[in-house]
A and B are shown apart, each in its own frame.
Chain A
Amino acid sequence: MELNTIKDAFDRVSKKQKLSCSNTQEVIDQIDQEIEQALQKIQSASNPDSLLDHRPILVELKTKLKDMAPVTQLESTQKDLNSALSKYPKLLEKSFNPDISKAYRNIEFDTHTVNQIIASHFYRQGLFEIGDLFVQEANEPESVAVIKSQFQDMYQILEAMKSQNLEPALKWATSNADRLKHNGSDLLMKLHSLQFVEILQKGSRDEALNYARTYLSPFASNHMDAIQKLVVCILWAGRLDRSPYYQLLSPTNWDKVVEELTRQFCKILGQSYESPLAVTVVAGAQGLPPLLKFMNVMAGKKHEWQTMKQLPVPVELDKEYQFHSIFVCPVSKEQSTEENPPMLMSCGHVLCKQSIMKMSKNSTKSFKCPYCPSDIDAIRCRMLYF
């Protein structure tokens, strides 16, 4: 799609509109002038009481205006403008998908469920005021109150971190230390490191040493390098920026910890890191084009579309939206199922069970792998679990 063509087309419309506007102004000015002139003539006529003196002037004015034909004068520019105004939407229709609801199934979503999803989205994005207003306006009951308070806790921690206050974050991470460890996250150590650097920057060597002894040393066994590096920094207390370890002051360290905290907080809540609403809408934007293409080709099968159990065309989503393993048998092109599981052949290639059964005549004879010259014995094929 060429956005430039569309821009040019729009500029033409707006040029015509300006032209029509100035043209109208001119015509009105002309009428104005003619009337003003007639007025002057009448007023300067010698005999103010005469009934007849002004009549020829009025008749002359009438003729002049008639000859001027102001309404007709406007017609040609107006016609130009009108044609530009009706052409532009046609260009839009040609360049875009004029009706993205073509691939829409006539299924009514439950408004309450959708509203609940939206309210949760606002809260988890930290848009609490908008969330509250929405809940009130949509008259949604308190079903989202829990998620609101959970994310309020998270944003309080994050807000504090914005002003270099790590206390709430440390408090949360300490009380969830076991679960963080279970998730394989070293968030607690990272938070303590940030805090340690903060203390160092203030220049207090003793306090820093104390902090390292109390909070950093327990991590030494697993994070030897990192801890050593931090402790050495005590030598540069108060002037870390001129030390070999100046990178410890980089704000990106904070950004990374903020991200990790958000990720872990969501995980411990049992929530996703990305907003599920945002993920679904992006998936929709990626899925709609192939679906619309299909609907255009299959215009006659609109009815079947309403009842299909599976999408008629493959939809390629970005890899971050692949949440499950899908195995498609390269021979039968069918997705594997519990009854028709993927099987590993001795050569390392994988087919679905039914394909192997077919090629081996129900395991009665060996067959050649379709992808390499190996001879395959169906008995020796192993079921796979992705």
Chain B
Amino acid sequence: MEMNSLPNGNSTPSTPPVPTTTSPPSSKVGQLAESLRLEHQFLRVPFEHYKKTIRANHRVVEKEMSSVISGVSDAADRDDLSSDEAVNHLNSLVSRLQGLKRKLEEGSRVEHLQAQRCRARLDHLESADAENLSEWNNMRLKRILVDYMLRMSYYDTAVKLAESSNIQDLVDIDVFQEAKKVIDALQNKEVAPALAWCADNKSRLKKSRSKFEFQLRLQEFVELVRAENNLRAITYARKYLAPWGSTHMKELQRVFVTLAYKSTTECATYKVLFEPTQWDHLVDLFKQEFCKLYGMTLEPLLNIYLQAGLSALKTPYCYEDDCTKEDPLSQESFRKLALPLPYSKQHHSKLVCYITKELMDTENPPQVLPNGYVYSTKALEEMAKKNDGKITCPRTGFVCNYKDLVKAYIS
């Protein structure tokens, strides 16, 4: 579509260049493929969940199996067992194995369900094509909204929206249930579930050099200081804070000094440590770690899509009074969100007829009234037909004849 921006002096007469037309249909398919490539999180999250379940189940198997084997070893090494005792001992090992088998069955059932979910998402991506695009887009919006609800802790709305649209397999409600437990506890100023979560994901948190556990420990320490339980605070610090000393000495020192200040301190550096907002901070920190672990974006998908969409739609004309209602940016709320965002950029002219709101292109070229106002041929022809060839400019009231119009060639 690039116009041949020929410099002057091209002596061979040429017909006017073809005005820019809209994208060919092949680009629509390309556009769809491009937008599918945005769906990384959609496939990644259920897979991380699946992987986690597999690993956890395997750990249980290994642990149980080893303890059964060492149970046999122990019995074999003892010389004070009666025959009956030996039988009892072996029987208990057998029932332990039975228990393990049941766990294994249950575990593989869950693994199977999660694998199905991973498959369902691949199938859903595959189902997108040019014919069902608007329905597919509608579904994507619902998925994005559920993601938003889950991240904002609007769980009931998330569940209801997913159920009523029958998209449970396409959203991550169960993954967020795990997060909910930790967040609820942190909001109640309890760290235990968060610490358990850290233990569960120890190796991966370590790999990403997460400070989350350290922050939790610091908070527990601060709480002990607040309760003026100094002895316990010191024991706690020795056991749980000291190991972080090599990497986070500065913060450790700062918090440790609170011992000398108590919770009523007015010293700003330390006062902040006793603020209840520290717990909100922990919630935020947890959400970040959680998202990272599952391969999610840190921001809600909705915000990411909205930002890009608002920028793509934003033009200087959106903020004018006669902005069409069909433009989301005609609404105050959208204008407010778009305010700090950049304007869109165009390399080619895109002319929209003021009357029909249709794009003016080769099929429907723009025509100029003697007063300089431009409308589409379609709109002007219709107006002329209805009014015996008379044209009235809808923006100025200027009246002229259809034959006074001249075509404009837009390159």
Q: Is the CB of A311 within 8 A of B86?
A: no
B336 lies within 8 A of A110 (CB): yes
Is there contact, CB below 8 Å, between A103 and B308?
Answer: yes
Contacts of B301 in A (CB 8 A): 100
Q: A273-B326, A326-B315, A344-B408 are in contact. Are A367 and B305 (CB under 8 A)?
A: no
| Residues 289-333 (chain B) with a chain A CB within 8 angstroms | 295, 297-299, 301-313, 315-318, 323-331, 333
A249 within 8 A of B: no
Contact B407 A286 (CB under 8 A): no
What's the minimum C-beta distance from B60 to chain A, rounded to whole angstroms? Answer: 10
Q: Which residues of B contact A267 (CB under 8 A)?
A: 325
Given A39-B91, A348-B407, A89 and B44 contact (CB-CB distance below 8 Å): yes
Instruction: Please tell me if A383 contacts chain B, counting CB pairs below 8 Å.
Output: yes
**B346, closest chain A residue (CB):** A326
Q: Given A98-B40, A104-B299, A281-B306, do A36 and B94 touch, yes or no (CB 8 Å)?
A: yes
Identify A58's interface contact among B6, B33, B72, CB under 8 A.
B72
Whether A326 contacts B395 in the complex (CB less than 8 A), given A42-B90, A289-B35, A348-B408, comes out as no
Q: Please determine whether B16 and A331 come into contact, CB atoms closer than 8 angstroms.
A: no
Interface residues of B in 376-411 (CB under 8 A from A): 395, 406-411
| Contact partners of B94 in chain A: CB under 8 A | 32, 35-36, 39
Contacts of A78 in B (CB 8 A): 58
Among A40-69, those with CB < 8 Å from B are 42-43, 45, 48-51, 53-55, 58-59, 61-62, 65-66
Say yes or no for B206: interface residue by CB 8 A criterion.
no
The majority secondary structure among interface residues of chain B is helix
The answer on a CB contact under 8 Å between A96 and B342 is no
Q: List A contacts of B328 (CB < 8 A).
A: 272, 276-277, 279-280
Interface size on B, residues (CB 8 A): 146
A315 touching B40, Cβ below 8 Å: no
Nearest-Cβ distance from residue A8 to partner chain B, whole angstroms: 10
Whole-angstrom distance between the Cβ of A52 and the nearest chain B Cβ = 9
Among the stretches B141-149, B225-233, B256-264, B276-284, the one at the interface with A is B141-149
Given A74-B61, A370-B6, decide whether A272 and B408 contact each other with a Cβ distance below 8 A.
Answer: no
Known contacts A116-B333, A323-B313; is-contact A289 B34 (Cβ 8 Å)? yes
Most A C-beta atoms less than 10 A away, residue of B155, B318, B344, B368: B344
Q: Cβ of A160 < 8 Å from any Cβ of B? A: no
Please name all residues of chain B whose beta carbon is closer than 8 Å to the beta carbon of A200 when the two chains form the complex: none
Residue of B nearest to A309 (CB): B342
**B87/A35 in contact, CB under 8 A:** no
| Interface majority SS (helix, strand, loop, mixed), chain A | helix
Give 25 pairs: A residue, B residue, CB < 8 Å, sorted on A. A28-B100, A49-B83, A92-B47, A95-B37, A96-B37, A96-B40, A97-B38, A98-B295, A100-B38, A101-B297, A127-B164, A279-B313, A279-B328, A280-B310, A283-B312, A286-B312, A287-B344, A310-B342, A310-B345, A314-B344, A321-B313, A322-B352, A323-B315, A328-B347, A373-B12
Q: Which residues of A contact B (CB under 8 A)?
A: 1, 3, 6-7, 10, 13-14, 17, 20-21, 24-25, 27-28, 31-32, 35-36, 38-39, 42-43, 45, 48-51, 53-55, 58-59, 61-62, 65-66, 70-71, 74, 78, 81, 85, 88-89, 92-93, 95-101, 103-105, 107, 109-111, 113-114, 116-118, 120, 127, 129-130, 133-134, 137-138, 266-267, 270-274, 276-289, 291, 308-319, 321-328, 330-331, 333, 335, 337, 344, 347-350, 367-368, 370-373, 382-386
Interface residues of B (CB under 8 A from A): 3, 5-14, 16-17, 22-23, 27-28, 31, 33-41, 43-44, 47-48, 51, 54, 58, 61-62, 65-66, 68-69, 72-73, 75-76, 79-84, 86-87, 90-91, 93-94, 97, 100-101, 104, 108, 111, 115, 118-119, 122, 125-126, 137-138, 140-141, 144-145, 148-149, 152, 154-157, 160-161, 164, 295, 297-299, 301-313, 315-318, 323-331, 333-334, 336-337, 340-352, 354, 357, 359, 366, 368, 372-374, 395, 406-411
